[in-house]
Structure 1
Amino acid sequence: MVSLSPLDYTLIIIFFSLTLGIGIWVSKKSGKNSSEFFLSGRSMPWWLLGVSMVATTFSTDTPNLVTDIVRTHGVSGNWVWWAFLLTGLLTVFVYAKLWRKSNVNTDLEFYELRYGGKPASFLRKFRAVYLGVIFNVITMSAVTLAAIKIGGIMLGLEPWQTVISAGIITVTFSALGGFKGVIYTDFLLFFVAMGGAIGAAYYLVNLPEVGGVAAMITNEHVADKLSILPDFSDTESLITLLIIPLAVQWWSSWYPGAEPGGGGYIAQRMLAAKDENHAIGATFFFNIMHYALRPWPWIIVALASLVVFPDLASIQEAFPSIADDKLGHDLAYSAMLTKLPSGLLGLVLASLIAAYMSTISTQLNWGSSYIVFDFYKEQINPEASEKRLVAVGRISTIVLMVFSALLALLLQNALQLFEVLLVFGAGTGLIFILRWFWWRINAWSEIAAMFASGIISIILKLTPAGAFFFAKETGVFESYLEYPFVVLITTIIWLAATYMTQPESKTVLQSFYKKIQPGGPGWSKVLLDAKSEDIDLEDNKEPWSVPAGILAMILGCALIYSAMFATGYWIYGETTQAFVMTIIALISGGLLVRIWKKIKANIL
């Protein structure tokens, strides 16, 4: 537990006041209609949306998660989420413009654009509850759990005290300001959060007991954790940490913020963009910041924590008041922050509060948009006025906050929840990628995949079957095969369902193609059928942009991964590797600019 100085309190109070002030300032315009409340009138520029995406994905549980990964698996363990860069850049260069063209209010409204009939209606309503309430509440509870741990270690707060104090202001400005309030406050929260993370990393790595970067990387508890790539001689680590994430996970799993083909609150921001170019620019900026630069301050603190707190016993000894059911490696981040001096401590606490508020406010507004547009308006009151829709949005915002706070009190650690969410969405991602470009996918494909993935995951996680087949050392199969197994079975089931059910009607398919213009060989049958009926579905005869988009994705990955590697090697003092990676980043960036100009020309 630390003692806050008057300067610390002043910084935190100023931050709270500014955030709440922004929410109140924009509340009148945000409450004008549902489009303003959830999409800010579709008028947002790329830089503001991009900063908002970065701020949203920096939550209080993120540094805790990274710390847990680094202390458990080393720096290379982060490939479990670094692999999602492929998903992110596919969204940037292929799907961002398609989402903006759709002009829907939520990504779930897409279902009744792409599919038809009762299955499409069911899918939209069910996923509104499944994602907007259940999945969303689980995600927010992980963020709140991190806030509980930070409050417990740094301020000696009881879990309920943290939940109430952290939640009230967040839910207040979220309910008042709507999406515009979220975006504007995210701009402030981004700089506060990044400033706090970088300041903390610099100070903590130079603590006398750590001794600076050079001493830290030679410490016996740190030396074997530094590699950015897993040990290639360790087959299990190589498969688990690198091969499965890069070969299977990125395209097959639905995970909040990294949905294949775009979706969730990332789609919400693309839909709020001024135009297609702004949607692309926002998502590209987000991916650069999210993967190449932002992780390193957290990684440095995690590595430094291994010097100060080499194991769980040392954390427990230093903080005996922490309950056993909340003890985990993720606590090491908060434990290190207790060593910060006055002023910097206030800034870092404000940055963590900023991270919490940014993520929770986004999740609340996004989840509420599903409840309002995809459930309430569709199922309960189709004739609801704009004023009523905004009111329902504000009420659902408060209810979601309460549910997530209650669940957070029952959880133990962030990594545990991350792994469960990954498996729960396994096998569904391929549909989200292909449904834009293959006419044969229908609503039953998605329904089958969703239920198959969920049921299989529940069986493996909550029954003895999981231990029997995939328990480490004692299971029938290697434990790392669990995820690919779920993907394989789910894919077989949804493909079978696709061919066992009728395709979508010609009317639905032709209407979708006419509006979105996805192109590609997967729509050739629909185009031929339309042509035989003297219907022209193609607005222009430009070349299909997806091949150029995939090339841009590959170059973008080379740019961002090499920049990420270069940053790490510069920090480690390995100048030769750092120089090589920097050169690769510059070359990849130059080539990407050329491809980008071609893609942009096609859009315009």
Structure 2
Amino acid sequence: MTWIDWVVVAASLVFVTFVGLWFTKRASGSAEDFFVGGRSVPWWLAGTSILATSFASDTPLHTTRMIRESGLAGAWFYWSGIFSMIVVAFLFAPLWRRSGVVTDNELMELRYTGKPAAMLRGGMAIYKTLFLEILTMAWVTLGMTKIIKVIMDLPDTVALPLLGAVPSEIAVVVALILMTMAFTAASGFWGVVATDFIEFCIAMVGAVVLSVVAISKVGGIDKLKEGLAASELGPSATDMLPDFSGERFTFLAMGVFLGVQWWANAGIDGSGQRAQRFLSCKDERHAIAAGIWGLAVQWLIRSWPWYLAALASVILYPDMVDHESVYPKMIADLLPVGVKGLMVASFISAFVSTITSHYNLTASYAVNDVYRRFMVKGRSAKHYVSASRWATVLIAGLAGVLALLLPSVLDAFRFKMELMAGLGLVYVLRWFWWRVNAWTEIAALGASIVSAVGLKTFMESSPETAANDSALRLLLVVTISAIAAIGTALLTKPEPMEKLQEFFVRVRPPGVWGPVAAGTGFESKHIPPKTWAHMGAALVFILAGMTGIGKVCLAEPALGLGLLAVSTVCGVWLLRSVFGGYTAEPVVDSDGV
């Protein structure tokens, strides 16, 4: 990197930091201001923040590894998420906004009652804070550490003033943690989402530039296809449908991706950072729009630059063993002066966007669901804002320590999915079936953790069968947890009718609520046919659009343009139908409980 590159990096960081710190005062009023932006965030900003949070610096790393190992069809590991994002946008986004809670864990005491509900809320908050979210932040930090080491060509140790020789991984991790935790602790949620927008734009520019340069280095699309056909991936490398004749893909893996993985996860109802964005929106109409915006941009725009660069890397770096270091290697080798600085800035932007979002979300669990709920009650709003800032600092430190211990970004990503796979079914049922109680969730969580850890411990995997083995483990975790959850729901008493009616009146969910709805003045309704039509149109809109863009990029314009025409028709109808006469329900907001 030259001084010009460093000037580009420094300028982007200064600008983003200034924007974030501008919102410091806005985050200081209350816990609601700090964690959900005072519920005043517009749909386009909330939707872009959802995108930016999932566009981490590690994402192109494990995406590149997946494509290099399995070809373009390996992306079905990610594409299965299209189904869940559609369901979240049209079914769950308005329910979250009506709930008016501050965190997704707080919903547990809105839906359930008594000691089991309190135990579930506090226990899940601790589990997410000390393990799941820390794990996510650790692999994001690990990904950025790999990028910096490769681009800057750092040695194994670096000399630091007063400290002497320090392992370069430790030096990079500490620098990243210090840079991001102070920013998040000061600016709160508004600072996070405002900078998310800027950082996403910078990151997208960098991703597009690298993909164009990488394709040009291999001689264009035709040479890319020729080179891939002669590689270990073979002629099917650019096929979007998998080849089941080898070991890379089996019908089991594809069946799990399409039939199980998309709903068998704790995010199927939008829990986590997406729920935080929906809860921050002005109303449920803005929440739905945020979900649709995030869905469209993620699958139609965001991912293809990574896929193309990853395919080009198979030809440019055929013998590189560490697939997760290939993407930063391309940045270091292929980009000219100035552009390289822009690309590094885009990676730092992606990292900052994701890590600060997770810092803020995890601090909300620690403060709103543990500290404020169980430990220190009835203090001033400023006290809890201060506690939130200190929680951010502690969480950042824990994530940095774990980042030094993780072996692989993709392996950590897969393990987290397996750990939470058993919660997907019960997270859906709690909104739509009145019989689900706190013990149902506790049973599902316990079964999911025990079975996932046990299977991971005793099932060995090779790199060639890793995807299929992960799919099998996920299927087993889902089956075991579903039996435990449904059995518990049927064998234990439901929540008290008064509590169920309170939840039903506030959220007004569709589904099986007949006994509860009686006497509330509201009807128990099924999911409206129009909502099903919206979800169907959204599926065609995304799949046709995503495939069409891919075909155009891979020099198959006739089919690509035809698919894009179909996608456009569905998209236009969807926008007019959803926003033409949608009436938002009234909501009752909480400032945390």
TM-score by length of 2: 0.92
Structure 1 position 290 matched with structure 2 position 274: no
User: Which of 249, 269, 276 is matched with 1:237 structurally?
Assistant: 249
Structure 1 position 181 matched with structure 2 position 191: yes
Kept in 2, the 8 Å contact 1:20–1:173? The answer is: yes
In structure 2, C-alpha distance between the alignment counterparts of 1:506 and 1:330, rounded to whole Å: 52
Question: In the superposition, relative to structure 1, how do residues 579 and 227 fare at CA in structure 2: closer, same or farther (>3 Å)?
Answer: same
User: Which of 253, 263, 278 is matched with 1:251 structurally?
Assistant: 263
**Deviation at residue 191 of structure 1 after TM alignment:** 1.0
**Deviation at residue 474 of structure 1 after TM alignment:** 12
**Deviation at residue 551 of structure 1 after TM alignment:** 2.5
Deviations 1:105-127 (A, max 9, x none): 11111001111111100010011
Determine helix, strand or coil for the equivalent of 2:249.
helix
Kept in 2, the 8 Å contact 1:60–1:352? The answer is: yes
Structure 1 position 524 matched with structure 2 position 514: yes
Question: In the superposition, relative to structure 1, how do residues 567 and 603 fare at CA in structure 2: closer, same or farther (>3 Å)?
Answer: farther
**Deviation at residue 188 of structure 1 after TM alignment:** 1.1
Q: Which residue of 2 aligns with 1:273?
A: 281
User: Which of 405, 410, 415 is matched with 2:410 structurally?
Assistant: 415
Q: Which residue of 2 aligns with 1:26?
A: 23
Kept in 2, the 8 Å contact 1:101–1:516? The answer is: yes
In structure 2, C-alpha distance between the alignment counterparts of 1:154 and 1:240, rounded to whole Å: 38
Q: Which residue of 2 aligns with 1:330?
A: 324
Structure 1 position 482 matched with structure 2 position 473: yes
Determine helix, strand or coil for the equivalent of 1:262.
coil
Kept in 2, the 8 Å contact 1:236–1:480? The answer is: no
**Deviation at residue 482 of structure 1 after TM alignment:** 2.7
The residue type paired with residue 577 of structure 1 is L
Q: Which residue of 1 aligns with 2:204?
A: 194
Structure 1 position 52 matched with structure 2 position 49: yes
In structure 1, C-alpha distance between the alignment counterparts of 2:308 and 2:470, rounded to whole Å: 30
Q: Which residue of 2 aligns with 1:107?
A: 104
Deviations 1:287-311 (A, max 9, x none): 1111222111111111111111113
Q: Which residue of 1 aligns with 2:504?
A: 513
Question: In the superposition, relative to structure 1, how do residues 479 and 82 fare at CA in structure 2: closer, same or farther (>3 Å)?
Answer: closer
Q: Map residues 270-419 of structure 1 onto 2, 5 A cutoff.
A: 270-313=278-321, 328-339=322-333, 340-419=335-414
Kept in 1, the 8 Å contact 2:139–2:403? The answer is: yes
Q: Which residue of 2 aligns with 1:316?
A: none
Q: Which residue of 1 aligns with 2:81?
A: 84
In structure 2, C-alpha distance between the alignment counterparts of 1:80 and 1:542, rounded to whole Å: 36
In structure 1, C-alpha distance between the alignment counterparts of 2:469 and 2:310, rounded to whole Å: 29
**What is the number of equivalent residue pairs in this alignment?**
567
**Deviation at residue 592 of structure 1 after TM alignment:** 2.4
Structure 1's consecutive aligned runs of 4 or more residues displaced over 4 angstroms after TM superposition are: 232-236, 470-475, 477-480, 541-546, 601-604
The residue type paired with residue 432 of structure 1 is Y
User: Which of 463, 483, 488 is matched with 1:497 structurally?
Assistant: 488
Deviations 1:388-415 (A, max 9, x none): 1111111111111111111111112211
Determine helix, strand or coil for the equivalent of 1:363.
helix
**Deviation at residue 165 of structure 1 after TM alignment:** 2.2
**Deviation at residue 216 of structure 1 after TM alignment:** 1.1
The residue type paired with residue 521 of structure 2 is L
User: Which of 170, 179, 193 is matched with 1:160 structurally?
Assistant: 170
Determine helix, strand or coil for the equivalent of 1:108.
coil
In structure 1, C-alpha distance between the alignment counterparts of 2:465 and 2:28, rounded to whole Å: 57
Kept in 1, the 8 Å contact 2:88–2:269? The answer is: yes
Kept in 2, the 8 Å contact 1:148–1:163? The answer is: yes
The residue type paired with residue 93 of structure 1 is F
Question: In the superposition, relative to structure 1, how do residues 578 and 52 fare at CA in structure 2: closer, same or farther (>3 Å)?
Answer: same
Q: Which residue of 1 aligns with 2:38?
A: 41
Structure 1 position 212 matched with structure 2 position 220: yes
Deviations 1:518-547 (A, max 9, x none): 133x101222xx4xxxx3331xx6965544
Structure 1 position 554 matched with structure 2 position 536: yes
**Deviation at residue 517 of structure 1 after TM alignment:** 1.2
Kept in 2, the 8 Å contact 1:34–1:386? The answer is: yes
Q: Map residues 434-453 of structure 1 onto 2, 5 A cutoff.
A: 434-453=429-448
TM-score by length of 1: 0.90
**Deviation at residue 371 of structure 1 after TM alignment:** 0.6
Kept in 1, the 8 Å contact 2:257–2:471? The answer is: no
Kept in 1, the 8 Å contact 2:269–2:427? The answer is: yes
Question: In the superposition, relative to structure 1, how do residues 431 and 558 fare at CA in structure 2: closer, same or farther (>3 Å)?
Answer: same
**Deviation at residue 584 of structure 1 after TM alignment:** 2.3
Question: In the superposition, relative to structure 1, how do residues 490 and 37 fare at CA in structure 2: closer, same or farther (>3 Å)?
Answer: same
In structure 1, C-alpha distance between the alignment counterparts of 2:238 and 2:480, rounded to whole Å: 36
Q: Which runs of 5+ in 1 are unaligned?
A: 314-327
Kept in 1, the 8 Å contact 2:248–2:464? The answer is: no
Question: In the superposition, relative to structure 1, how do residues 238 and 577 fare at CA in structure 2: closer, same or farther (>3 Å)?
Answer: farther
What value does the CA root-mean-square deviation take over the aligned residues? Answer: 2.2
Determine helix, strand or coil for the equivalent of 2:421.
coil
In structure 1, C-alpha distance between the alignment counterparts of 2:545 and 2:77, rounded to whole Å: 18
The residue type paired with residue 41 of structure 2 is M
Kept in 1, the 8 Å contact 2:93–2:284? The answer is: yes
In structure 1, C-alpha distance between the alignment counterparts of 2:536 and 2:319, rounded to whole Å: 39
The residue type paired with residue 23 of structure 1 is G
Question: In the superposition, relative to structure 1, how do residues 478 and 18 fare at CA in structure 2: closer, same or farther (>3 Å)?
Answer: closer
Question: In the superposition, relative to structure 1, how do residues 556 and 480 fare at CA in structure 2: closer, same or farther (>3 Å)?
Answer: same
In structure 1, C-alpha distance between the alignment counterparts of 2:465 and 2:127, rounded to whole Å: 34
Question: In the superposition, relative to structure 1, how do residues 519 and 480 fare at CA in structure 2: closer, same or farther (>3 Å)?
Answer: closer
Determine helix, strand or coil for the equivalent of 2:22.
helix
Question: In the superposition, relative to structure 1, how do residues 10 and 148 fare at CA in structure 2: closer, same or farther (>3 Å)?
Answer: same
Q: Which residue of 2 aligns with 1:580?
A: 562
Deviations 1:447-477 (A, max 9, x none): 0000101000111112x3x34xx889999x9
Q: Which runs of 5+ in 2 are unaligned?
A: 155-167, 587-593
Q: Which residue of 2 aligns with 1:570?
A: 552
In structure 1, C-alpha distance between the alignment counterparts of 2:514 and 2:278, rounded to whole Å: 28
